[in-house]
Structure 1
Amino acid sequence: MDRKTSLPPVAPQEPKVLSLHGDERIDPYYWMRDRDRQEVVAYLEAENDYTKAMMQHTEGLQEQLYQEILGRIQETDLSVPYRKDEYYYYSRTEEGKNYPIYCRKKGSLDAPEEVLLDQNKLAEGHEFFSIGTLQVSPNHQILAYSIDTTGAEQYTLYFRDLNTQELYPEQILETYVSLAWGNDNRTVFYTTLDDTNRPYKLFRHRLGTDSSQDALVYCETDESFFLSVGKTRSQAYIVMGLESKVTSEIHFLDANQPEGEFQVVHPRQQGMEYDIEHHGDTFYIVTNDEAINFKLVKAPVDAPGKANWQTVLPHRDDVLLSGVSAFVHHLVIYERKAGLPTIRIQNLKIGEDNYITFPEPTYSISEGTNPEFNTQVLRFNYASLVSPYAVYDYHLDTGDRELKKETEVLGGYDRTQYQSDRIFATATDGRKIPISIVYKKGIQPDGTHPLFLTGYGSYGANYPASFSSARLSLLDRGIIFAIAHIRGGSEMGRHWYEEGKFLHKKNTFTDFIACAEYLIEQNWTNCDRLAISGGSAGGLLMGAVMNMRPDLFQVVVADVPFVDVVTTILDPDLPLSVLEWEEWGNPNDKTYYDYMKSYSPYDNVEAKAYPHLLITAGFNDSRVAYWEPAKWTAKLRVMKTDDNVLLLKTNMGAGHGGASGRYDSLKEVAFEYAFLLDRLGLIEA
């Protein structure tokens, strides 16, 4: 159903070819990469103006949706405080304010509140504002925090004396988000970025000194590796992590001797990943060494190399070992079995194991904030497609589970009025693909209902079946929501990831198509009522399936989509490019080049009919540059043969994550929902 304003907007014309660099005969829109060029900004602004005009008739709906979504949120709210030493730390929000306020109380929750950082005050005058790191020194007297005011993920690091509230004189530019305090309360380890926004250097800073004098501890010269720094829960060691997509190398340093030298756990070995957790004189190590689904080993701290690894939990073909957390008397082991996450508790005193069980057919869990090593309580988070986000304290010795807080959904939300299920589609090669689905009770699969299908399927990332109060605005209008847990993620084990990368990447796309076809075959929806959405690598998914089966979908939303795959990964000067070679393949190898070229959305736009399409971008995006969605839009405008709506919406003051303030973020959701409802014909003329 097409909508028109009283003055029909004119779609942006095909941008004229402008010389820059590169061969415009091969890529006529290559010039869009020059963000300083007036024609580039003018083109993006013209697209934004067109999008605004084309969505003008939905402005009332956008406001209605925004008010609905906002009306379900407790605007003045408090996080669950967590204890660290004598202090209780928490954040709170206030009605009308975009950002959290970080606070603490000393001794008890009845003590006076101390505001550590009011993000709203810091954000004044900035269109975008984000906190990178926020860490208090071991003696709780100094706050280290970093801020980004563009969305480019380049942070400036500051230090504040919490007794006087005065800032230390130094400001450290172009840092990344990881940071660790030495136990002397004066030494800080931080990372900095190279020209491609890769964290690659580790520095040691002495508080109160000029950062230009900081000692360079380590420089990672391999462009496929990221560098990070952290600290063990035991507070005993500073940990430096060096990681590519498939290889790890961990170094550690006594936190009581921050001027000392880092020691390596085990030197990097191509294709071998590992991570460490400290407990007494032992490192517990999760590794995929001869274990595709990972296994748990341990080694003495004074001889942690692979030669001394002893198996604690062996590899299992049907269980993915996701991670481990160590506490004074327990190990908490995160696993994934049959596509669902689980938590296993190992009592180190008596050698017994037990599992925390969850009742719903599909759900998500994550570890909460657990800063203390000497504790008998595990904090974890739980949510499902019908159960709001909840924080639990689990008593490790007794097995008692204590609900600390469930996020309140205002407006009388009744979870019993909604149904969630887990169903399975069949891939072209016979693999069973999980689909998480939620809908308003009473809906019957008669083929008439609109359905909103999403997915991701890259980097081994699992798409969580979690709650969204905003999503109720779709469910209450009769839309079914579904998540396709396709290959390229790790939902069904590490092999699920391996079968969706490199020269198997097309499994990700055909799996998603198989899920869409299954939902239609089972009468959950039909082609004319099927909308799909994905962001970043999920935007690549949208572009690929849209090229392969444009007839299958009515509406597509592609957020910050990674669509110009070959050109981007061929350019080593761009952020992430070299790192991506271990995910997608190195296009300098003709085998990978040809394969990537065969599915790259931008390279496979054809003269044919496409669905209604909304594309978003961030002008300061350092992960997926704005020109990828812009070029894709321009090419589609010229090539597509239909009259369906094509919109590009670029946030000129943000990056990969969109708007930073919570109210602006909700408005972006309302905008996308309005587009979806409009193009599905679910609003009145």
Structure 2
Amino acid sequence: MTSARSQQTSTDTTTPAGGSQPPVTTPPVAEARPVAREHHGHTYSDDFDWLRDKGSDEVIAHLTAENAYTDAVTADQDPLRKAIFAEIKAHTVETDLSVPARKDGWWYFSRTEEGQQYTVQCRVRAADTGDRLADWTPPVIEPGVPVDGEQVILDGNAEAEGQPFFSLGGLAVSRDGNLMAYAVDHAGDERFTLRLRDLRTGQELADEIPDVSYGIVFDATGTRVFYTVPDDSWRPYRILAHTLGTSVEEDRLLFQEDDPGMWSGFGLSADRTELLVSVGNSEVAETLALDLPETVDEPLGELRMLVSRDLGLLHGVDPVTLDGQRHYVIVHNKDFTAEDEENAPTPAPNNMVSLAARETVTDPRFWRTVVAHSDTVKVDGAAVTATHLALGVRRETTPRTLILPLAGLGTGDQADPVEPDFSEELYSCELAGAPFESPFLRLAYSSWVTPSQVLDYDVARGALHLRRQVEVPGYDPDQYLVERWWAPAESTDRRVAIPLTVIRRRETEWDGSNPCVVYGYGSYEMSMDPGLSVARLSLLDRGVVYVVAHVRGGGELGRGWYDDGKKLAKKNSFTDFVDATRFVAQSGWVDPDRIAAMGGSAGGLLMGGVLNLAPELYRACVAQVPFVDALTSILDPDLPLSALEWEEWGNPIEDPEVYRYMQEYTPYENVRAVDYPAVAAVTSLNDTRVLYVEPAKWVQELRRTVTSDQSAPLTAGGAPIVLKTEMDGGHGGASGRYRAWEDRAWDYAFLLTALGAADRR
């Protein structure tokens, strides 16, 4: 039902006769046009659902007016934004390059040039001398200095010229190095156009395939390209093979997944002899394989089953050849070793690793255990080379890499895994590349205060080789300190301890006066892992104590930590964040009246839920592409990716308990008539993951409901509520690195202004 208040405010903002617009200092008020939603005996009236029609001139005009209002309200922050942008720029080597990675006869790398938004993809010939260590040691390439024989294969700046947006959805080069397939998005909606280029001439081929999803690979012959197609809800569901020089209509359909709750994708085996098709969601998966032809004359065969979804497994599969026989390394979440006709498999929620022969891979009773299940170590995935197996694991919240030889794998002669050793307590060491023929495993190392490093691990000798450390001009890691705190989950169970990462300048005093930003995510088993953020330095250098709350719903403490923050346990994510904030507020390190919150996407849902639970704890909140109208979206299977979300949130269409539970926490429907902090909702018009309409509606509901002073500026203690919409961007905002810096500077300036922390210390 439309309230009298909404009718009145709608009337108050009608465009005056003559077409003049209201002052930008007046927040835009969308007209209330109630639409009833009925499910499981419950009726909800949504006044602002009409804002979802982005093809409407009226909606575009409303979003434009919101941007104008936001610009006016935050105009005084412009000098601070410029200062933060300059700081990010000063801490960044703008003319830089990646460490070359070898594939077949070439070293591939990317360059960035000062003043340019996008990277330039390059390559240079590799040598084959017979010395494997020398042949796989990357060449030393200087930033800004071309190498003899260097070839530019794709210049992102040229591709983006004249376009409002640019993003790559995949890039692959044929094994002979002659052809390149790449996918480009010029709208931000994550629908890509697949194109092919002859790298010998630089000419584009006639082949062009619109509306493809992420991922491209060539077969061994270089005459076929595999790609995926999304359905109307943006779910990748078809996998096709395109033969170069033929029409798209002739492309062969290899696989189609009709279950709207399952996602499809593919990849090549490490030795590139098999195409692996993966289907699944957050609770069950299936893997099929296709033996790839080695010659042009050989036709494509048929997919064969490896691990069926009927087993109810979450798993990953990596083919490997042992003693001349084909096997599969399988990371999976059920233990079949004790199974018989009467006993079901034992849950292994943190995953175990098994080995299966090709002939018996479909029957888990014949799988041999390589790494048993652990309650304290989560196995996230595997990769194989010609000689070794690498496992990505998570222990004590952080990602690590374990390595063991293939010789003796799955037998009594199997060697124990080894782990590269590092001096820091809180760090991330992840596999960044495992070329099949290489004597090295490439690792990515980072910590909260250490710039990212690229390392090559010599698997035979156990030696680490530093190939590159990101240079951060003007940065001294000794000036910063990282600590791990544990906050009791007071709202649910004090026996549960929430890990917090606390980052501050070393000279910060324990006097209870410091501003604080608390960041969180807490969904999809995604972990907030250690990594130095150059932009974050602008907060720390202004005295901010920066806290990452690793709340339930993430994966930091294994599968159980995730399960305790999803579906009918989702509220634990919100209460964990609130409990973490209260713990920090009472620590003596921060001023309880100078705490801000920030999160994006599903972390934006976290922000909305937290503000409804305990708005009094926060001075300001930045919610980036926030999923704040979750129930409405999940109720509509025709919306992008909604059906896939049922495994995360539950299915409120079929299950009245799920509907009731989501209705109790979905932020848009639970805004309260109390004082809220200042709120900045940041979104993108073409985002297909979290539609712009969610924050647009939420802002309207906040403005008409909360009792806080929205008219006073931030600097005077006011709590304005603003919506900032990137009109040409996608889920990640605008494209281009400088635009990304501007976006981050905008977010941080809003928070720092609210916290009274604009000045550097």
For 2:126 and 2:305, locate their aligned partners in 1 and report how far apart those are by CA, in whole Å.
Answer: 39
Please, which moves more after superposition, 142-151 or 17-26? Answer: 17-26
The counterpart of 1:90, out of the listed 109, 113, 123, is: 109
What is the number of equivalent residue pairs in this alignment? 676
For 2:588 and 2:503, locate their aligned partners in 1 and report how far apart those are by CA, in whole Å.
Answer: 15
Partner SS, residue 302 of structure 1: helix
For 2:208 and 2:552, locate their aligned partners in 1 and report how far apart those are by CA, in whole Å.
Answer: 44
For 2:476 and 2:582, locate their aligned partners in 1 and report how far apart those are by CA, in whole Å.
Answer: 31
* Aligned position for 2:315: 274
For 2:34 and 2:643, locate their aligned partners in 1 and report how far apart those are by CA, in whole Å.
Answer: 27
* Aligned position for 1:418: 480
Residue deviations 1:11-62 (CA, integer Å, cap 9, x gap):
3242113478969970000111111112211111111000000111111111
- 2:754 maps to amino acid: R
* Aligned position for 1:375: 438
* Aligned position for 1:212: 249
For 2:263 and 2:256, locate their aligned partners in 1 and report how far apart those are by CA, in whole Å.
Answer: 10
C-alpha contact 1:22 1:30 (8 A) present in aligned 2 = no
* Aligned position for 1:54: 73
C-alpha contact 2:165 2:186 (8 A) present in aligned 1 = yes
Distance 1:550 1:21, change over 3 A: closer
Residue deviations 1:65-84 (CA, integer Å, cap 9, x gap):
11111111111111100112
> TM-score of the superposition, structure 2-length normalised?
0.87
* Aligned position for 1:472: 537
CA-CA distance at 1:451 after TM superposition: 1.0
* Aligned position for 1:649: 724
* Aligned position for 1:541: 606
CA-CA distance at 1:179 after TM superposition: 2.0
- 2:265 maps to amino acid: S
Partner SS, residue 188 of structure 1: strand
For 1:129 and 1:571, locate their aligned partners in 2 and report how far apart those are by CA, in whole Å.
Answer: 29
Is 1:189 aligned with 2:208?
A: no
The counterpart of 2:98, out of the listed 79, 101, 111, is: 79
- Where does structure 1 lack aligned partners over 5 or more consecutive residues? 1-6
* Aligned position for 1:388: 451
- 1:549 maps to amino acid: A
For 1:623 and 1:641, locate their aligned partners in 2 and report how far apart those are by CA, in whole Å.
Answer: 31
CA-CA distance at 1:413 after TM superposition: 1.1
For 1:13 and 1:623, locate their aligned partners in 2 and report how far apart those are by CA, in whole Å.
Answer: 25
Partner SS, residue 431 of structure 1: strand
For 2:28 and 2:172, locate their aligned partners in 1 and report how far apart those are by CA, in whole Å.
Answer: 50
For 1:189 and 1:640, locate their aligned partners in 2 and report how far apart those are by CA, in whole Å.
Answer: 52
The counterpart of 2:462, out of the listed 387, 390, 399, is: 399
For 1:114 and 1:104, locate their aligned partners in 2 and report how far apart those are by CA, in whole Å.
Answer: 5
* Aligned position for 1:576: 641
Distance 1:67 1:642, change over 3 A: same
Distance 1:349 1:270, change over 3 A: closer
Distance 1:387 1:380, change over 3 A: same
The counterpart of 2:680, out of the listed 598, 614, 624, is: 614
CA-CA distance at 1:270 after TM superposition: 6.6
Residue deviations 1:270-322 (CA, integer Å, cap 9, x gap):
74111111111111000112311110011112331124321111111111111
For 2:208 and 2:123, locate their aligned partners in 1 and report how far apart those are by CA, in whole Å.
Answer: 24
* Aligned position for 1:119: 156
For 1:15 and 1:58, locate their aligned partners in 2 and report how far apart those are by CA, in whole Å.
Answer: 26
CA-CA distance at 1:525 after TM superposition: 1.3
Q: What is the correspondence of 1:45-444 to structure 2 with a 5 Å cutoff?
A: 45-107=64-126, 109=139, 111-256=148-293, 259-269=300-310, 271-280=312-321, 281-289=326-334, 290-305=347-362, 306-349=364-407, 351-352=414-415, 353-370=417-434, 372-410=435-473, 412-428=474-490, 429=493, 430-444=495-509
Partner SS, residue 447 of structure 1: coil
C-alpha contact 1:253 1:262 (8 A) present in aligned 2 = yes
CA-CA distance at 1:244 after TM superposition: 1.6
- 2:359 maps to amino acid: D
For 1:13 and 1:44, locate their aligned partners in 2 and report how far apart those are by CA, in whole Å.
Answer: 9
* Aligned position for 1:28: 47
Is 1:596 aligned with 2:662?
A: yes
For 2:665 and 2:591, locate their aligned partners in 1 and report how far apart those are by CA, in whole Å.
Answer: 25
C-alpha contact 2:543 2:757 (8 A) present in aligned 1 = no
Q: Which has the larger radius of gyration?
A: 2
* Aligned position for 1:16: 31
Q: What is the correspondence of 1:654-673 to structure 2 with a 5 Å cutoff?
A: 654-673=729-748
Partner SS, residue 341 of structure 1: strand
C-alpha contact 1:224 1:244 (8 A) present in aligned 2 = yes
- 4+ aligned runs moved over 3 Å, structure 1: 18-25, 108-111
* Aligned position for 2:144: none
* Aligned position for 2:526: 461
Please, which moves more after superposition, 295-304 or 662-671? Answer: 295-304
C-alpha contact 1:527 1:551 (8 A) present in aligned 2 = no
For 2:757 and 2:406, locate their aligned partners in 1 and report how far apart those are by CA, in whole Å.
Answer: 57
CA-CA distance at 1:243 after TM superposition: 1.2
- Where does structure 2 lack aligned partners over 5 or more consecutive residues? 1-21, 128-138, 140-146, 335-346, 409-413, 710-718
Residue deviations 1:145-165 (CA, integer Å, cap 9, x gap):
000001100000001111111
For 1:179 and 1:264, locate their aligned partners in 2 and report how far apart those are by CA, in whole Å.
Answer: 22
C-alpha contact 2:498 2:549 (8 A) present in aligned 1 = yes
Identical-residue share of aligned pairs (%): 40
Please, which moves more after superposition, 517-526 or 156-165? Answer: 517-526
CA-CA distance at 1:487 after TM superposition: 0.7
> TM-score of the superposition, structure 1-length normalised?
0.96
For 1:270 and 1:619, locate their aligned partners in 2 and report how far apart those are by CA, in whole Å.
Answer: 41
The counterpart of 1:450, out of the listed 497, 502, 515, is: 515
Partner SS, residue 90 of structure 1: strand
C-alpha contact 1:146 1:156 (8 A) present in aligned 2 = yes
Q: What is the correspondence of 1:508-523 to structure 2 with a 5 Å cutoff?
A: 508-523=573-588
CA-CA distance at 1:96 after TM superposition: 0.7
Partner SS, residue 138 of structure 1: coil
C-alpha contact 1:76 1:94 (8 A) present in aligned 2 = yes
RMSD of aligned C-alpha atoms? 1.7
C-alpha contact 1:616 1:650 (8 A) present in aligned 2 = yes
C-alpha contact 1:361 1:421 (8 A) present in aligned 2 = no
Please, which moves more after superposition, 16-25 or 262-271? Answer: 16-25
Residue deviations 1:89-108 (CA, integer Å, cap 9, x gap):
00001111100000000125
* Aligned position for 1:626: 692
Residue deviations 1:533-560 (CA, integer Å, cap 9, x gap):
0000000000001100001111111000
Please, which moves more after superposition, 60-69 or 530-539? Answer: 60-69
For 1:307 and 1:401, locate their aligned partners in 2 and report how far apart those are by CA, in whole Å.
Answer: 39
Residue deviations 1:182-226 (CA, integer Å, cap 9, x gap):
111101111101111111111111011111211111111000111
